[in-house]
């Protein structure tokens, strides 16, 4: 157990490796109640979210759809990455635990002039059920109303079943559900899933799963000095007819040219890649690893690294030795299998 931004959370429940493999092969459950759930309500809810998010929430025309986005500062740096669920005319937004105080202060500052309210739902927990058997397990666990709701959902969709919000989203690269529900109901659901032999999964496996899936972690792969274009998040930015906090800075960056990029790298031989290891192109340091680990699925060292634009083979300095690595197209793994491809060294 470790302190995680004021929460007492498990790194693992016995074996991080086994927990990782369980999620890739069957199903596991995560208590992610440390995440902050916000309800955005009022006439200007959409206009407000279009202003504070780099992705365009206006593209979610209907209730029941979800969107991944970044909340930026005026310089285009990433304050936080969030998931927003449309429940028109209102919205749910889930933000990172470690950024809660900063996010709440920033949103309170930005909401001035908009006719809407931001309500923190401190009465709710979140249980993530992830893995290829996640939906099957939930069908055997939930009520008729809940299972019917889930049966009609596609990835990145969600909706209410009573006072539970059920969403086909996650942080593992596997199919699954994120279930937002009242605290006491969460205790009951956790017990039911445990009785049905669903394994509990800790922070360690959560990190290796998201890394294999090519998903960023705030504080490692992005922060307030990094723009979405430097964090492999260009797809989450909508510039056309969409002015938002940080959009002018992003426009200037695109006109000047983006010199740094976040890439995937994989070891050619044995070993483990760790955060902060320097990345070399020839004799020059061109960047550093932002997140790294041994991949249980690939049985290789993998990492995300932010580097300056360069050509030629890359290597990583490990204990004074240059170890060759391959640049890859992300993600490394999804839905239980490797999906990466090695990029030519001159690209």
155-201 pLDDT tens trace: 999 999 999 999 999 999 999 999 999 999 999 999 999 999 999 99
CATH number of the domain enclosing 178: 3.30.1360.120
Residue 222 falls within a domain, yes or no?
Answer: no
Residue 235 falls within a domain, yes or no?
Answer: no
Residue 233 falls within a domain, yes or no?
Answer: no
Residue 300 falls within a domain, yes or no?
Answer: yes
198: containing domain: 2-212
Residue range 216-233: mean pLDDT, rounded: 98
Q: Domain check: are 9 and 93 in the same one?
A: yes
Q: How many separate domains does the chain show? A: 2
Residue 10 has pLDDT above 70, yes or no: yes
To which residue do tokens 């006439």 refer?
43
0.85 surpassed by pTM: yes
Structure confidence at residue 320 as a pLDDT band (50, 70, 90): confident
Judge contact between 115 and 31, C-beta under 8 A.
no
Q: Domain check: are 184 and 311 in the same one?
A: no
Structure confidence at residue 151 as a pLDDT band (50, 70, 90): very high
Q: Report residue 103: phi and psi, to 5°.
A: -60, -45
Q: Domain check: are 30 and 128 in the same one?
A: yes
Residue range 112-117: mean pLDDT, rounded: 97
Q: Domain check: are 137 and 47 in the same one?
A: yes
Residue 346 has pLDDT above 60, yes or no: no
Residue 243 falls within a domain, yes or no?
Answer: no
CATH number of the domain enclosing 304: 2.40.30.110
Q: Domain check: are 204 and 270 in the same one?
A: no
Residue 31 falls within a domain, yes or no?
Answer: yes
Residue 231 falls within a domain, yes or no?
Answer: no
Structure confidence at residue 344 as a pLDDT band (50, 70, 90): confident
Q: Domain check: are 22 and 136 in the same one?
A: yes
Residue range 318-346: mean pLDDT, rounded: 91
- Please say which residue of 185, 212, 239 terminates a domain: 212
Residue 293 has pLDDT above 70, yes or no: yes
- Please say which residue of 152, 178, 212 terminates a domain: 212
Residue 227 falls within a domain, yes or no?
Answer: no
Q: Domain check: are 65 and 125 in the same one?
A: yes
pLDDT tens, residue by residue, 238-287: 998 899 999 999 999 999 999 999 999 999 999 999 999 999 999 999 99
- Please say which residue of 155, 179, 212 terminates a domain: 212
Structure confidence at residue 347 as a pLDDT band (50, 70, 90): very low
């Amino acid at each position: 157990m470790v302190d995680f931004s004021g929460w007492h959370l498990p790194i693992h429940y016995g074996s991080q490796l086994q927990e990782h493999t369980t999620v890739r092969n069957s199903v596991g459950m995560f208590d992610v109640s440390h995440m902050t759930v916000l309800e955005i309500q009022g006439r200007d809810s959409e206009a407000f979210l279009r202003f504070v998010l780099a992705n365009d929430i206006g593209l979610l025309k209907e209730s029941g759809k979800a969107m991944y986005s970044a909340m930026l500062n005026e310089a285009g740096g990433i304050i936080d990455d969030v998931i927003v669920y449309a429940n028109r005319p209102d919205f749910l937004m889930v933000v990172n635990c470690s950024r809660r105080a900063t996010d709440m202060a920033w949103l309170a500052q930005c909401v001035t002039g908009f006719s809407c309210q931001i309500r923190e739902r401190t009465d709710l927990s979140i249980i993530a059920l992830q893995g290829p058997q996640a939906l099957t397990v939930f069908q055997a666990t939930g009520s008729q109303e809940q299972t019917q709701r889930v049966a009609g959902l596609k990835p990145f969709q969600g909706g209410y079943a009573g006072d539970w919000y059920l969403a086909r989203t996650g942080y593992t690269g596997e199919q699954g559900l994120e279930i937002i529900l009242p605290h006491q109901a969460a205790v009951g659901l956790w017990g039911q899933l445990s009785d049905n032999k669903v394994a509990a999964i800790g922070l360690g496996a959560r990190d290796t799963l998201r890394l294999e899936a090519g998903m960023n972690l705030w504080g490692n792969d992005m922060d307030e000095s990094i723009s979405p274009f430097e964090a492999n998040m260009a797809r989450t930015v909508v510039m056309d007819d969409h002015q938002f906090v940080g959009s002018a800075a992003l426009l200037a960056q695109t006109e000047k040219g983006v010199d740094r990029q976040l890439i995937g790298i994989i070891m050619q031989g044995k070993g483990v890649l760790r955060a902060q290891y320097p990345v070399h192109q020839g004799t020059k340091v061109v960047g550093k690893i932002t997140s790294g680990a041994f991949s249980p699925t690939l049985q290789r060292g993998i990492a995300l690294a932010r580097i300056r634009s360069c050509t030629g083979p890359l290597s990583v300095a490990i204990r004074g030795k240059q170890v060759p690595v391959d640049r890859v197209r992300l993600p490394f793994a999804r839905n239980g299998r490797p999906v990466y491809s090695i990029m030519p060294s001159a690209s």
